[in-house]
Structure 1
Amino acid sequence: MKTLTHISIDDYLLQESQAEYKSEYHAGEIVAMAGAREPHNAIVSNLIILLGQCLWKGKCRVYPSDLLISLPECEKFVYADVSIVCEKVALGEQRYGIDVLLNPTVVIEVLSESTELYDRVEKFACYKTLKSMQQYVLVDSRKVLIETFTRTAENDWLLKSISDKGKKVKIGECEILVEDIYHHVVFEKEENISQK
């Protein structure tokens, strides 16, 4: 991610509607989104398939990374790798043909070396400001590790970590086998070993 310039929200949304690549808005700064590696994309694809099947007949909807999310208390517009909405979908004032989601219920970020610190700290702090948010899920793309942060009735966030492929993880209303989330994912270390 690289900061490019300082602009208004209106100018950002106009630029984003015409851009060939995605960028986020961070309190006046545009941050270009870097492309992701194959394991990251495989995990996102698996999550959308698995969650889509689980939630198909219910009230919740699954969205890929092209839906912009508004984080007004942080003056940010961001893209999540996967988001789930379980209420009526609330979209902000549409400008320049861009829909902006206001009420994600679950947000999933797939961690990579360049984004892990930002996803864990700054982005999570901003997602927590949304009253609709009930769960934040971090999926590591370099090893088997899934962390779920679930909001409690007391407004605390309960952490569960799973690193066993044979276990299930609860994401929103779905229980998914960890092995299925990592289906066809080859980690860099495994790839290097197989090439020797």
Structure 2
Amino acid sequence: MRLAVQNDFHYTYPDVMVSCDPSDRRDPLLIRQPVLIVEVLSPSTAEYDRSRKFNQYKKIPSLRHYILVSQTAWVLEWFRRDDMGQWIYTVLSDPADVLEIPDLNLRLPLADVYDDTDVAPLALISAPEHP
């Protein structure tokens, strides 16, 4: 599916999108009013997804949630727009963490995101013991 970031000018292809706008059902290949966008980070796109692409996505009035999923460790970065229009940043990296978005009725354990993958949880680095 294609996302119209700016009609007739700028389109992207996010990994996952959710729209609650009935008008987005008219075109089976195009979404204009996403409420949630998810990007799976790769080494070649991570910087672009975090910076220029996110800056463009912020201009979409309907967008409330932007999620970045790491391919190298159990790390999910969640940006959510509050009622004042401010973006709040949350990192989920503990295997027990759960992404909960009540307005979308979404409850997603981090362990489920990485289930059946070769990606390992972040390892805790302990300080060396002194004798």
User: Structure 1's 101 and 187: CA in aligned 2 closer, same or farther, altered over 3 A?
Assistant: same
Contact 2:92 2:99 in 1 (8 A): yes
- Opposite residue 109 of structure 2, the aligned amino acid is L
Q: Could you tell me which residue of structure 1 aligns to residue 119 of structure 2?
A: 187
Q: Could you tell me which residue of structure 2 aligns to residue 16 of structure 1?
A: none
RMSD of aligned residue pairs (Cα, Å): 2.1
- Opposite residue 75 of structure 2, the aligned amino acid is L
Contact 1:144 1:163 in 2 (8 A): yes
The runs of 5 or more residues in structure 2 that have no matched partner are: 121-131
What pairs with 1:24-173 in structure 2 (closer than 5 Å)? 67-72=1-6, 75-90=9-24, 99-171=29-101, 172-173=104-105
The number of aligned residues is 118
TM-score (norm: length of structure 1): 0.56
Q: Give CA deviations for 1:44-72 in whole Å, capped at 9, x if unaligned.
A: xxxxxxxxxxxxxxxxxxxxxxx100111
- Residue 83 of structure 1, CA deviation: 0.5
The runs of 5 or more residues in structure 1 that have no matched partner are: 1-66, 189-196
Q: Give CA deviations for 1:61-103 in whole Å, capped at 9, x if unaligned.
A: xxxxxx1001117x311100001112214368x6xxx732111
Contact 2:74 2:119 in 1 (8 A): no
Contact 2:80 2:89 in 1 (8 A): yes
Percent identity between the two aligned chains? 26
TM-score (norm: length of structure 2): 0.81
SS at match of 2:34: coil
